Amino acid sequence: MNGEVHARLAWVAVDWGSSHLRTWAMDARGEVLARAGSGIGMLALSPEHYEPALLEAIGDWLPVSGHVPVWICGMAGARQGWREAAYLPVPTRLDQLTRGAVAPTVRDPRLHVRLLPGLCQHADDAARGFDVMRGEETQLAGLVALEPDFTGLVCLPGTHAKWVWLEAGTVMRFATSLTGELYALLASQSVLKHSVSAARLDEPGCSEAFATAVHEAATDPGRFSQRLFALRAADLLDDSLPHGQARRLHLDARLSGLVIGLELSVLADELRHDAPVTLIGSTELCSRYALALEALGCSSRRFDGEATVLAGLGLAEANSRHRARD
């Protein structure tokens, strides 16, 4: 396989987050030739360790001579990462991310590394609050590469879920909710850990329990903190719940629904029922958000997380080649 990679390698795509490194060997047409990765993320690295960690992952793909463009998005470009690629303030055109890219110092002459910047938002009198993203902007650029001049509302679910308002390929504003982190802390560290067990929504009754909880939290967010404790009390008192593991799955679906419903509450006024929300991420998480949106009468469509990050890094690579040619 490495023979084919060596023959066709045009550039390397890298998504380098807080706790992961994912790399792809790409050919000139944007096809994936090979994948590699590790759990060595920004939190585990100081600046001088990035190049060895990168070579460990992609060294086998590199030619003996010549140089290979390497495009990196994510936390590797944070202040505490390899080298800081300062945030671009919104509004920002997503096909212009390369303007904020920086090149860290590398020793291996075959590597031509660029780190893409994140986006930041300062608070103003409109609906904007202080906010930052790093990594998701590249997926959004990928969406715009796949659908030029995209206009609409995009959601990237996850540890820190992002909602992004795009107009003709420009990020106008965005808002981050602590949803994934809040769920994980409550499910694994709070008193609720005794009552829940991570549920897939295709378990019997779980999607209904989830959708009901989404609706409750989205329409009555002020009772959120009470509804959390009520999950524990229901576990102790509610005879109508199933028993054993089924009970824990049911309560987990409710907990997940409450946390996602809280996130959606503020958006209820902005969710236009004629226009679908564009979800970017994994099948499992996006299905959950699709169901949550459905519970509020909204439709959605999904783009794959990996496909958008590769399209976004590919757009940066293509823009850079065009500029070099001009």
Mark the segment that binds its own copies (CB under 8 A) among 44-52, 235-243, 273-281, 304-312. 235-243
Answer yes or no whether residue 233 interacts with its own copies by CB under 8 A: yes
Binding pattern for the stretch 138-177 against its own copies, x by CB under 8 A and - elsewhere = ----------------------x--------------xxx
Q: Which two tokens stand for residue 146?
A: 């796949």
Among 34, 55, 106, 120, binds its own copies (CB under 8 A): 120
| Closest separation in Å from C-beta 45 to its own copies | 17
Among 23, 139, 179, 195, binds its own copies (CB under 8 A): 179
Nearest alpha-carbon partner for 270 in 178, 182, 180, 174: 174
How many degrees, rounded to 5, is the angle at CA 179 between CA 175 and CA 183? 175
Kindly state the smallest distance separating residue 81's Cβ from its own copies, in Å: 14
Closer Cβ to its own copies, 239 or 274, answer by number: 239
Under rule CB under 8 A, residue 242 binds its own copies: no
User: What would the two tokens of residue 272 be?
Assistant: 């236009």
Give the DSSP per-residue string, 147-200.
STT--EEEEE-STTEEEEEEETTEEEEEEEE-HHHHHHHHHHHSGGGGT-----
3-class DSSP state for residue 267?
A: coil
Q: Which is nearer to its own copies, 176 or 256 (CB)?
A: 176
Give the x/- contact pattern for its own copies in 121-140, rule: CB under 8 A. Answer: xxx-----xxxx--------
* # of chain residues touching its own copies (CB under 8 A): 45
What is the DSSP annotation of 201-246?
Answer: TTSTTHHHHHHHHHHHHHH-GGGHHHHHHHHHHHHHH-TTS--HHH
Q: Interface with its own copies by CB under 8 A: which residues?
A: 120-123, 129-132, 160, 175-179, 181-182, 185-186, 189-191, 218, 220-230, 232-234, 236-238, 259, 262-263, 265-266, 268
